[in-house]
Chains A and B, each alone.
Chain A
Amino acid sequence: MKLRALHKGESGIITAVQIRGSLGHRLREMGFVPGTLVTVEGRAPLRDPVRLRMKGQVITLRKGEADHIEVQRGENDA
């Protein structure tokens, strides 16, 4: 499933980041690599961008950008 499909408070494990170029690079350097646990923390007041917790940091990205990230829904307690 796509990262966008995760609801607020839900977590997932990244399985793939299917994008090249500068966005792909940007995602990877920030730590979006397979095996990483991400938790959706919330959305901006206008629903986009999204706020995520990952590797002990808070990252924002637009929904369109989140579409390139495949996740597997994970446990909520992480």
Chain B
Amino acid sequence: MTEKKKLSIALAGNPNSGKTTLFNRLTGARQHVGNYPGVTVEKKEGVFTYEDWEIKVTDLPGTYSLSAYSVEELVARDFIINERPDVVVDIVDASNLERNLYLSCQFLELGVPMVIALNMVDVAESRGIEIDADRLASLLGVEVVPIVARTGTGLDKLFQAIVRTAAASKTVHPVLLRYGSDLDEAIREMIPLIEKGNLLTDLYPARWIALKFLEHDEQILAKAQEQNPELSRQLLAICEQVTQHLQQTMEVYPESVIADHRYGYIKSILHQGVVREKFVGDRLYTSDRIDKVVTHRVLGPLIMAGILYGLYTFTFNFSTTLVDILADLFTLASHWVDMVLADGPLKSLIISGVIDGMGGVLGFVPIIMFMFFGIAVLEDSGYLARVAFMMDRIFHFFGLHGSSVMPFIVSGGIAGGCAVPGVMATRTLRSPKERMATLLTVPFMNCGAKLPVLTLLIGAFFSAHQARYMFLATLAAWIVALVAAKFLRMTVLRGESTPFVMELPPYRFPTIRGLVIHTWERTWQYVKKAGTVILGISILLWAMMTYPGLDAEQQKKFTDQRVRIEQQLHTLPDEAPAVAELQRALVAVHQQESEARLRNSLAGRIGTALESISGLAGFDWRTNIALVGGFAAKEVIISTLGTAYSLGEVDGDENTSLQERLQADPHWNPVVALSVLAFIMFYAPCFVTIVCIAREAGSWKWAFFSMGFNTLFAFLLSVAIYQIGMLLGLGG
């Protein structure tokens, strides 16, 4: 076997140009998803072979240009400059040629070896647009290959063009665009200075640098100033002069003149017989017809509510079967370990730490799978952009973006979601500040794990108005989340809102291949990246709830009690009436021992130590321990409360004993219950969510911020509820 020749290509193009479809088609399942260093932009890579070539593909983020205004554009630009792929494959949507060529133009100016993949020629044709690819190629000076990425049509020709372009030449001359006499003159003046000073010329063409100075590109300016401050000042002075001149004569800025001329250049090319419209007129495209209904004033929101509700039901109902199967498997494993191993710390570690921890990690997998499948359908079909369009008015008011709606719904906007896929779903947002604000506020929603806890407390203290309280809880979650988002956007995340200038892409049928790859990617990332951390923390939490355990003296007390009862039992015949009572006493001893153990554990000590502060909100040490446990998973609050009240194992489903116990406890009353309810709804997200926030935000700083901010907020709210409630004498 001969060694394959290696080639590296980068896929570039506008969002919605079919770039990802092409990438998936080229690499199939052999792709690797990571992040670009230091940013949360995804980096997808893959390898495929063509004849005797082994071709490495990098899927660059979809962008409309190569400016320094967004992380995506910077990442794409830096990749091309620093990694120097052999060929840049620019995917151009044939049905939206003019705007797509705007990016191509900038590649031409950068002077990189490139091939244009003219995608979706079938769609263009169905709209009556015929494109002369050869003519376009000769006018632009690069190869243009018509393809249909969805079906794979034309890919062979594309590969040939790529190989030809890679072989042709390593030095591609940048295309010279004209920008009108004023700017051209300034550029002519700047180029010799840049060349003489060797200002960044090892990386970029001199003319391109001049252009970026005129466009006031922050990255290039910073780099230039670092390398040669004196020359940079000189160049900026030229820019300043021409800017003033343009302002005085035409009231325009250089960057708008540049954009005008780029579009002018594109137009002049398209008018030279490249595009032929076979039928024209104001024919309504299918997409527009769908939009007339789907974004209709009245029908639009109704249809949206239906679709979002459908997605929600699909995710959380269908995934339960799988979740249950997984849970059963883990229970089985626990039973097996229980039988095989002798009682002791190792057994406890394996059952409560490892198996429960793994269960905790994998329990989310079906939900994530279903959720992302659903979101991928909505995203790939183009509907998600419409949802953002319809919801933006509301979300923008709170400093968010129309696209924030999806993460909110998923996290429990309709009670019973889950913040883990919710946090992961913020990836559809492309505006950094809005995305961060969404990321940090979705955990305020009432996820499925909080519900049994809320149900328990509402059932115990407000059973007369159960439905009303549940509805109020959902409403409160929305209000708190949105107001918190507004607060964050006015403080730590303050800044201008990202423009809503966005494309409503034509509706398309999602490809199965795309959906499967997308779903698989997300799920695998969760298991791989989050899973290990979650397992680790799970073991840590188990240790906190278990150690240091009882000291010898306390242990002896319980053992003695047990031995005494057991001896009594032995002396009695099985049918004796006292047997049942003694057995109950034995269970009670066991439960008291569990309670003592819990209270003596690290978590218990923290809970007890915090009693002096938490008393302000009406929480005693038992509630505190339960809340510490709730950091592992919110449903753990119930079982921990059960242990703390010496009730032994308490299940979410059969918690009547706990309800009665709480009702009877003199420490509890409706005000305390309300205060605890509020705290549970809004305090620190469970650590699985925290791990996901750290992953999505790109730093642990935000994860810790989320824990602190939410807990502080929840605590202040609870204190207010408790103090005011008690003052008004509502505590009964």
* A interface, CB within 8 angstroms of B: 16-18, 20, 22-36, 41-42, 44-49, 51, 55-62, 65, 77-78
Query: Is A62 a contact partner of B500 (Cβ separation < 8 A)?
Result: yes
In the complex, whether B297 has a CB less than 8 A from a CB of chain A is yes
A65 to B501 Cα, complex, angstroms: 8
Query: Is A45 a contact partner of B291 (Cβ separation < 8 A)?
Result: no
Query: Is B499 a contact partner of A44 (Cβ separation < 8 A)?
Result: no
List 15 additional A-B contacts (Cβ < 8 Å) besides A58-B291, A61-B499. A16-B251, A27-B499, A33-B260, A48-B392, A48-B393, A49-B402, A55-B96, A55-B98, A58-B287, A58-B506, A59-B504, A60-B385, A60-B502, A61-B502, A65-B500
Query: Is A44 a contact partner of B389 (Cβ separation < 8 A)?
Result: yes
A77 to B503 Cα, complex, angstroms: 23
Query: Is A49 a contact partner of B282 (Cβ separation < 8 A)?
Result: no
Nearest CB of chain B from residue A43's CB, rounded to whole Å: 8
Nearest CB of chain B from residue A62's CB, rounded to whole Å: 5
Nearest CB of chain B from residue A60's CB, rounded to whole Å: 5
B residues 380-394 touching A (CB-CB < 8 Å): 385, 389-390, 392-394
Query: Is B501 a contact partner of A26 (Cβ separation < 8 A)?
Result: yes
Query: Is B389 a contact partner of A26 (Cβ separation < 8 A)?
Result: no
Query: Is A24 a contact partner of B256 (Cβ separation < 8 A)?
Result: yes
Query: Is A55 a contact partner of B99 (Cβ separation < 8 A)?
Result: yes
Q: Which chain A residues lie closer than 8 Å to B252 at the CB level? A: 16
Known: A48-B392, A48-B393, A51-B389. Contact between A30 and B503, CB under 8 A?
A: yes
Q: Which chain B residues lie closer than 8 Å to A28 at the CB level? A: 255-256, 259
Q: Which chain B residues lie closer than 8 Å to A60 at the CB level? A: 385, 389, 500-504
A59 to B390 Cα, complex, angstroms: 13
Q: Which chain A residues lie closer than 8 Å to B95 at the CB level? A: 56
Could you mark each residue 259-295 of chain B with 1 if its beta carbon is under 8 Å from any beta carbon of chain A, else 0?
Answer: 1100100000000000000000010000110011001
Query: Is A57 a contact partner of B255 (Cβ separation < 8 A)?
Result: no
Q: Which chain A residues lie closer than 8 Å to B259 at the CB level? A: 28-29, 33
Q: Which chain B residues lie closer than 8 Å to A44 at the CB level? A: 295, 300, 389-390, 392-393
A24 to B253 Cα, complex, angstroms: 10
Which of A17, A26, A29, A62 meets B392, CB within 8 Å? A62
Query: What residue in chain A is nearest B402 (Cβ atoms)?
Result: A49
A51 to B287 Cα, complex, angstroms: 13
Nearest CB of chain A from residue B289's CB, rounded to whole Å: 12
Query: Is A58 a contact partner of B504 (Cβ separation < 8 A)?
Result: yes
Query: Is B502 a contact partner of A17 (Cβ separation < 8 A)?
Result: no
In the complex, whether B462 has a CB less than 8 A from a CB of chain A is no
- Chain B: interface residue total (CB-CB under 8 A): 47
List 3 tightest A-B contacts by C-beta distance, closest first.
A28-B259, A46-B393, A29-B64
Query: What residue in chain B is nearest A18 (Cβ atoms)?
Result: B251
Query: Is A56 a contact partner of B98 (Cβ separation < 8 A)?
Result: yes
Q: Which chain A residues lie closer than 8 Å to B212 at the CB level? A: none
9 A-B residue pairs with CB within 8 Å: A26-B501, A28-B256, A30-B99, A30-B501, A34-B260, A45-B295, A45-B297, A49-B389, A61-B500
A48 to B547 Cα, complex, angstroms: 57
Query: Is A57 a contact partner of B499 (Cβ separation < 8 A)?
Result: no
Query: Is A77 a contact partner of B300 (Cβ separation < 8 A)?
Result: no
Known: A44-B295, A44-B393, A45-B297. Contact between A31 and B98, CB under 8 A?
A: yes
Which of A35, A59, A78 meets B502, CB within 8 Å? A59
Query: Is A58 a contact partner of B288 (Cβ separation < 8 A)?
Result: yes
A28 to B412 Cα, complex, angstroms: 38
Nearest CB of chain A from residue B238's CB, rounded to whole Å: 18
Nearest CB of chain A from residue B123's CB, rounded to whole Å: 11
Which of B69, B263, B496 meets A31, CB within 8 Å? B263
Nearest CB of chain B from residue A29's CB, rounded to whole Å: 4
Query: What residue in chain B is nearest A61 (Cβ atoms)?
Result: B501
Q: Which chain B residues lie closer than 8 Å to A62 at the CB level? A: 392, 396, 499-500
Nearest CB of chain A from residue B632's CB, rounded to whole Å: 41
A78 to B287 Cα, complex, angstroms: 18
A20 to B251 Cα, complex, angstroms: 12
Query: Is A59 a contact partner of B96 (Cβ separation < 8 A)?
Result: no
Nearest CB of chain B from residue A64's CB, rounded to whole Å: 9
In the complex, whether B639 has a CB less than 8 A from a CB of chain A is no
Query: What residue in chain A is nearest B300 (Cβ atoms)?
Result: A45
Centre residue among A24, A32, A57, A59 by max chain B CB count within 10 A: A57
Which of A24, A25, A33, A41 meets B263, CB within 8 Å? A33
Known: A31-B263, A45-B390. Contact between A25 and B502, CB under 8 A?
A: no
In the complex, whether B65 has a CB less than 8 A from a CB of chain A is yes
Query: Is A26 a contact partner of B263 (Cβ separation < 8 A)?
Result: no
A20 to B288 Cα, complex, angstroms: 31
A13 to B97 Cα, complex, angstroms: 20
Nearest CB of chain A from residue B508's CB, rounded to whole Å: 14
Query: What residue in chain A is nearest B216 (Cβ atoms)?
Result: A20
Query: Is A29 a contact partner of B102 (Cβ separation < 8 A)?
Result: yes
In the complex, whether B119 has a CB less than 8 A from a CB of chain A is no
Query: Is A59 a contact partner of B256 (Cβ separation < 8 A)?
Result: no
A55 to B282 Cα, complex, angstroms: 13
Query: What residue in chain B is nearest A66 (Cβ atoms)?
Result: B501
Nearest CB of chain A from residue B295's CB, rounded to whole Å: 7
A59 to B505 Cα, complex, angstroms: 9
Q: Which chain B residues lie closer than 8 Å to A24 at the CB level? A: 253, 255-256
Query: Is B295 a contact partner of A42 (Cβ separation < 8 A)?
Result: yes
B residues 219-266 touching A (CB-CB < 8 Å): 251-253, 255-256, 259-260, 263
Query: What residue in chain B is nearest A36 (Cβ atoms)?
Result: B263
In the complex, whether B67 has a CB less than 8 A from a CB of chain A is yes
In the complex, whether B46 has a CB less than 8 A from a CB of chain A is no
A58 to B65 Cα, complex, angstroms: 18
Could you mark each residue 14-49 of chain B with 1 if its beta carbon is under 8 Å from any beta carbon of chain A, else 0?
Answer: 000000000000000000000000000000000000
Q: Which chain B residues lie closer than 8 Å to A31 at the CB level? A: 98-99, 102, 263
Nearest CB of chain B from residue A39's CB, rounded to whole Å: 9
